[in-house]
Structures are given as C-alpha cells and as structure tokens.
Amino acid sequence: MKRLLFILPVVGFVGLLAVFFLGLGRDPRALPSVFIGKPLPAFATAPLRPGDTGLASTDFQKGEPALLNVFASWCGPCRVEHPVLMRLRQEGVVIHGLDWKEDAPAGLKWLTERGDPYVRAGNDPTGRTGIEFGVAGVPETFVIDKQGRVRYRHVGALTPEDWDQKIGPLMEQLRKES
Amino acid sequence: MRRLLLLTAALVLLAGPAAAVNPDEQLKDPALEQRAHQLSKTLRCVVCQNQSIDDSDAALARDLRIILRERISAGDTDSQAIDYIVARYGSFVQLDPPLRLDTLALWFGPLIVLALGGIGAFVYMRGRSPAAAGALTAEEEADAAEILKSDGAR
C-alpha cells in the first residue's frame, strides 16, 4: 500500500506527459463549428462566374450531401488542395465554392487558370457571408448533409488523407441517410 | 542630464498602449466607441488565438471589430452584441468564459486539483512518524559532550 502511494506521483506525471504529448499533435486552429448539426444560416451571394446564379444556402438542400469549400486566390494552402478538389469533382462529389475576401475577377482568374471544381460558385468580397457561418480563414471545407445541415468543418487544406480517412466516409454515410 | 531624464520620463508616460483599432473604424459617439472598445477586449481573435480582437491586426479581427460597432450602433446591448459573435464563432471566443455546465471543469478544475494536492499533503504529513523528540540516551549524551568539547578545543 505504501509502495503504491509512492509511485502515484510518477504515474500522475507520466499521465500528464501523455496528455501534453497528444496535445502537441492537435491543430489548435481546428475548432469545431458551432453550426454542427444545425442548418447553414440563410445567405445568398453574387456569382463568381459572370452570367451565373451565385451561391445561396438553398443550393444545399437538393437531396445530395455536398461540400462547401471556402477559398481565395491569395491563399497558399488553397493551391495545395485544388488538385484534390478537381479529382473529387471528377468522381462526382458535389462541391460548391465561396470565394472569400476578394473581388470576383481574381477568383475567376484562379478558376480559369487552374480548373473549376465547383458546381455553384459565389463571391464574398467583404467576407461577411463567410462570417455568417463562422469562417476564420481560408481554406475551410464544410460537409453539408441532404437537409442542408452542417455536419463537419475542416480547417486548412484538404489532403487526400483527409478525404480517405474522414470526409469521404462521412459523405458516404450521409448519402445513405434519408 | 537631468533635463534629458525628465524628457524621457515624460515621453514614456505619454506613450499609451498601442491598440490595433484603426481610426477609420472608430465610432463618432465617444460613449458608444468606449463600449465597443471594452467589448472587443473580451473577444478572442480566432486567427491569432491568444489575442483579443482589440489587439489583433488580423483582417478577420478588424471585420469583427467593425461588426461589433455596427451592432452597438444599431442599438444592441453589450450581451446582444457579444451573443451575435458567439452565435457564429462559439463561446471559445469569449476570453471571459461564462459559467455553464460545459465550462465547469474550466472554472473549478484548478480548485479540485488544489484540494486533492492539499489532502494528499495532509495525509502524508500525518502519516510521517514524528521525529524522536528531546531525550537522548546516556550514551548519546556522552558522545555529544565529547564532540562539543573537541570543537571548543579547536
């Protein structure tokens, strides 16, 4: 019994170390969205592509889960994730884009030069539309279910691993939901 | 020299803390501006998380400062204006977290740890056998006298 008491602080210390060590691997920017499980707030934006209809919250209640990708041409990590988005588009994943905090011509140039992965694309020059659903920076990707509810928020570039391990399976599951 | 010192002291005293708030963001009404300023000190910037939006130079912090001022100009109370931001970014942005069921650990965790440590220390202290006090045996007495004597001789 005495022995046990003696090693207790050591056990506690090792436990604390383990907690801290696991914490090192966590991204402090990856905050859960307050909108998880809740519908996207109502919004409507100007089109990014001329002659297009832009992006609105009602675009997400079409009986198909979709990704809402917030991007900008001035954003470095957006370059990294762009090929992933192009691949997903080819695989038939519905991705809508919101061009955040820049004027439409810059976003449009990005799409014409690199390819356009978006079904619908909206322009948010002031950033106010993104702020409505808690965007803190670009890129951010939201998983929206068939009813237009936010189910997951991904902060930072979307890597193939992110898709394979988390977002892809989630989309598959949402597709099966009624 | 003395004059230089005085000048330095005056300049140091005059220099206020630099806030990130730009003049063009400020409200014309000083009372409203003061309220907005105080509120923005209590909101965390989600980009650079250990700064308030009042301190931060991040573009999003600027947007939130402006939104805060818009809400206040539109007649929001302090708590309504805060709630507006919290509804979008979560209670994580409150540098002064409210006491709620999910923040209980935050508020009382340190106290509980302190109490546990105190109990541990108390139990340990009591469990220690008290040092054999006073009374030396005759043998020890003799040894001590010997040592003291030789000490004095040196």
Question: What mean pLDDT do residues B87-104 have?
Answer: 90
| 3-state SS assignment for residue B81 | helix
pTM listed for this prediction: 0.79
Question: What mean pLDDT do residues A32-50 have?
Answer: 93
User: By CA distance, what is B48's nearest residue in A?
Assistant: A29
Report ipTM for this prediction.
Answer: 0.84
Percent of chain A with pLDDT over 90: 85
Structure tokens at A71: 């991007």
pLDDT at A31: 78
pLDDT at A111: 96
Domain boundaries, chain B: 16-98, 99-130
Interface of B with A in 64-83 (CB under 8 A): 64, 67
CB-CB neighbors (< 8 A) of B90 in chain A: 31-34, 134
Asked if residues A122 and A22 have their Cβ atoms less than 8 Å apart, the reply is: no
Are residues B88 and A134, on separate chains, in Cβ contact within 8 Å? yes
Q: How far apart are CA B8 and CA B50, in angstroms?
A: 32
How near does any CA of chain A get to the CA of B79, in Å?
Answer: 18
pLDDT at B15: 67
Edge-to-edge strands, sheet with A66-71: A46-47, A121-124, A95-100, A66-71, A140-144, A150-155
- CB of B48 less than 8 A from some CB of A: no
Nearest-CB residue to B87 (from A32, A34, A137): A34
- Residue A60, pLDDT > 90, answer yes
pLDDT at A101: 96
User: By CA distance, what is B128's nearest residue in A?
Assistant: A2
Which residues of chain A approach chain B closer than 8 Å at the C-beta?
28-29, 31-34, 101, 126-128, 131-134, 136-137
Q: How far apart are CA A118 and CA A111, in angstroms?
A: 9
pLDDT at B47: 87
Higher pLDDT, A115 or A29: A115
The mean pLDDT of chain A is 93
Structure tokens at A148: 């237009």
Q: How confident is the model at residue B24 (pLDDT cuts 50, 70, 90)?
A: confident
Q: What is the CATH number of domain B16-98?
A: 1.10.8.640
Question: What mean pLDDT do residues A76-105 have?
Answer: 96
Q: What residue ranges define each of the domains in chain A, with the CATH number in brackets?
A: 35-176 (3.40.30.10)
Q: How far apart are CA A26 and CA A34, in angstroms?
A: 19
- Residue B132, pLDDT > 70, answer no
Extended strands (E) in chain A? 46-47, 66-71, 95-100, 121-124, 140-144, 150-155
DSSP conformational letter for A178: -
DSSP conformational letter for B25: G
User: By CA distance, what is A131's nearest residue in B?
Assistant: B88
How near does any CA of chain B get to the CA of A133, in Å?
Answer: 6
pLDDT at A158: 96
pLDDT at A88: 97
User: By CA distance, what is B86's nearest residue in A?
Assistant: A34
Count residue pairs from A and B with Cβ separation < 8 A: 35
Nearest-CB residue to B46 (from A31, A32, A126): A31
How near does any CA of chain B get to the CA of A90, in Å?
Answer: 33
